[in-house]
Structure 1
């Protein structure tokens, strides 16, 4: 067992050469919350008392975030290393929060592998980065996979709303300040001027509101949102009275527990609520943002706060920057909504009263980046993961290099055969039926690699409840394309009433498909991918 390290603390949150087998593909490419902090000495008596006898352990250990990554690592490590995972099988890596036992696994690990690209909940990433020992490889496989020609897909959001879809965003890396993926930005509301109250909040998966900013009791340090670098989140903005509102915000980069940096001067954004946005005093001639997807954005590298928007909402990467004093955000009269009767929404006023609201496009905590992180649904990308894992294990255990190379070579050949099976099986589905409708948007790589069209999904994120608009769009998609089956991830059954009810109403089959996690029936990556190809063929053919 490695020597115990000094106490490690978990930060709280709101988040070789190429083997001969190569890729060998042979075909074309068609929140809000906290994690408890603890020290190693609290976790283990052996940590606090090095003299306590413990079972001798000679093999190095590797820790991964998910079961999928653990399986890839075991196929390379063989018998020379112990491999464990943080997110249990059946759990959702997008929302799993780590435990104290997870800290122990990281403290004693000789290598740590995560997927990242904001796949895992940021609390997992912060815990890994705060507790992995100095000098231990800490590898984000999705980011590193491009070294072995992994193909990545932009994560495109295209939600048709009749008002602005307004969120919060962090842009840039902050490398000049020493920021890492474990760093975060505090975006704070510091001032408000307007005729009523402004509340920004997120409706969580089961309908409970979580606050970002609220002026009802004055603005304090609690009116702060924390986001990791290169991420953004969705939210609702509610205004109790019509008129002009000016919201002032500041931003702070927290590099680590000892270093924080004020990023920009206080910046004021203007909202025209139920009034003419073209006649706002001091903003005559300013741009008016009335549609599309926009974010109040903190640019770490530029040291600025501005509005970053795609005014057309087409997801075609036509985003532009609006200086705060050169744009007015419109909250039109059609944004009037009644306050729900649910007691949880009394913070907005009395049930039945009307408020002006820029709605959250999807319900549930939904912090993500710009690249789809589910790379492994393209087997070629999984091969790239294996090659990175092989290189890393050789780095920490050079004596085992022949074993790791041989294990990786054999497994890459197995994945080569799997890739061919996936292509042949899905190609055998009639083209007119080769449509995938799922619980959440996790199968873009499967579609791109194997010529399967992603026709629809209930929500962009598994930790969400669908809006009425999303329900209607789902029904229309299934009817118009005459889709014979929809697909449900076993670990998301409890959250998938909409998909199953819609399928029953339309008389289509509900079939299983595996996305982010294994279960008792499917326990390896190869089993998962073969199962997915076979069930797609069975249910769609």
Structure 2
């Protein structure tokens, strides 16, 4: 079977103009997601063939491109991605590696700022009992020629401590990916790759109490065939089940014991650091204060793993690498389900209709530049669609305004609705993302039930594409006697086959279920 790379070489090797897929002579437009494809079709009309790499009910966070997708990219005359790390990195790499030279490759979220779109920082949920620890790549790496298709590999090169240390990811539907495992020694396999300017969540476990010191090293691969560049290293200290102050005071270090923090590769300075919310380092400015990040050298901070982090190893052969079933280990849990790699800006801009209008204006101007003969048609199509979107924005505003303010709370499974909340005055009450392979504790269920009860939330909302990951939310909602309703963000489904239908359905669902 041909690999995608081989197929690309054959197709892209042809010299001269490239005819459209299957002889289609129209402008060939490829997008990354169904939402973007729908917007593009309204602007392009009959003058272009528009395809989406991610299918209508697919998840852009996890979709892996096929050879057919590669072919569409090779033949494309224009490409639109959302980016801001919305899409699975394989999708971005497929675009950037296979588009012909000179083909417009537009990152809509970044470009939309010039068209008056509003962007929102991606604020992490810091309501956790222990520190929420991930991995991050920051800095552009421009001095090395890095692009958005570049990759950074972080490898665990050594560990000193009284027991076994692991770092692993729980993916969709409970499948596991182990990144670091000192149980069988550390080597090249103990590594994880991230795009530039991204970070990921993960779980960390420790089999025995004591002080652990983990050595990490990073390499930057600018392209697939380039020799990796050294991106620095560092040693990180964990105080597991022991007094972190004794460890920190001896080193004159700060203690991280709550909130969000990342072990980070800084491509601009060439070293590894710890990036933490300021409140996580003990500088509390109140519940309503915006998170302020602080950067520490590894020797300036101790990561606390308290005794309340003790948890039993789940039954099932998939967790055998952690130890025997029901054996107690210390765990800093992964706080967001699935492979969730993203940047510092919430990428779901289109859930504010005015941002979608900015996307349409970018598409109009890009298509006019790519196909000047169709300029009149593109402008007319865009004007008509912008009017439809203005009417949609008014409809969403009116429907959500009909919900009493005291009931305008959204509890869902996916951190995607900040734009909807800001634009239409909906309070985002929380995201429920339990590990589907582990039965949540009674405390977890009680906390969720109390949130629903304290806010008098009449309904919770599940995305149809993520419904199978949300059994606990369903069960707690049933126990509390509240409704379980649908909402859409990244993909289409039975109730929404276009962007306008998606926004109108969401407004109707919120109004119906929260009123």
Tell me whether the two structures share a fold, i.e. TM-score over 0.5: yes
Cα distance in 1, alignment partners of residues 25 and 198 from structure 2: 40
1:196 aligns to 2:170 (yes or no) = no
Residue of structure 1 equivalent to 2:407: 433
Indicate conservation of the 8 Å contact 1:171/1:297, yes or no. yes
After TM superposition, where is structure 1 displaced by more than 6 Å over at least 4 residues in a row? Answer: 50-54, 463-466
Change (3 A) 1:466 1:373: farther
| 1:286 is aligned to 2:253 | yes
Q: Is the 8 A contact 1:252 1:260 kept in 2?
A: no
- 437-446 or 122-131, larger mean C-alpha shift: 437-446
> Are 1:529 and 2:503 an aligned pair?
yes
**Aligned equivalents of 1:114 and 1:466: distance in 2?**
37
Of the candidates 433, 448, 454, which is equivalent to residue 422 of structure 2? 448
Give the alignment partner of residue 361 of structure 1, picking from 324, 332, 335: 335
2: distance between equivalents of 1:410 and 1:88? 26
Q: Distance in 2 between matches of 1:316 and 1:141?
A: 26
- Determine if the alignment matches structure 1 residue 485 to structure 2 residue 459: yes
User: Are residues 282 and 339 of structure 1, via their aligned partners in 2, closer, same or farther at CA, if it must alter by over 3 Å?
Assistant: same
| Map of 1:145 onto structure 2 | 112
Give the TM-score, by structure 1 length: 0.87
Q: CA RMSD in A?
A: 2.8
Tell me if 1:107 matches 2:81. no
Change (3 A) 1:460 1:442: farther
Q: Where does residue 398 of structure 1 map in the other structure?
A: 372
Match of 2:193 in 1: 226
Shift of 1:341: 2.4
On the 8 A contact 2:248/2:254 being kept in 1, the answer is no
Contact 1:165 1:358 in 2 (8 A): yes
What is the rounded CA distance, in whole Å, between the counterparts of 1:334 and 1:457 in structure 2? 23
Q: TM-score, normalised by structure 2?
A: 0.91
Describe the SS at the equivalent of 1:216. helix
C-alpha separation in 2, matches of 1:257 and 1:170: 18
- Counting only pairs closer than 5 Å after superposition, residues 62-141 of structure 1 correspond to structure 2 as 62-141=29-108
Change beyond 3 A, Cα 1:53–1:63: closer
Query: Displacement, 1:258?
Result: 3.2
Tell me by how many angstroms 1:300 deviates: 0.8
TM-superposed CA distance for 1:145, in Å, is: 0.5
Q: Secondary structure at the match of 2:46?
A: coil
Instruction: Tell me: CA distance 1:95–1:460, structure 2 relative to 1, closer, same or farther (3 Å).
Output: farther
**Partner residue in 2 for 1:164:** 131
- Pick from 268, 271, 274: which aligns with 2:241? 274
1:483-503 CA-partner distances (Å, limit 9, x unpaired)? 222222222222232233222
1:322 alignment counterpart? 296
**Alpha-carbon displacement from aligned partner over 1:21-51 (angstroms, at most 9, x marks no partner):** xxxxxxxxxxxxxxx543236679x979x99
* Alpha-carbon offset, residue 441 of structure 1: 2.1
Deviation at 1:154, TM superposition (A): 1.3
CA–CA separation in structure 1 for the residues paired with 2:257 and 2:422: 33
Counterpart secondary structure, 1:200 = strand
Deviations 1:471-515 (Å, cap 9, x if unpaired)? 444322222222222222222222232233222222222222222
Deviation at 1:54, TM superposition (A): 8.8
> Is residue 40 of structure 1 aligned with residue 14 of structure 2?
no
Report the Cα distance in structure 2 between the residues aligned to 1:52 and 1:306, rounded to whole angstroms.
49
Mapped partners of 2:11, 2:79: distance in 1:
19
Q: Which moved more, 1:470-479 or 1:320-329?
A: 470-479
- More moved, 349-358 vs 183-192: 349-358
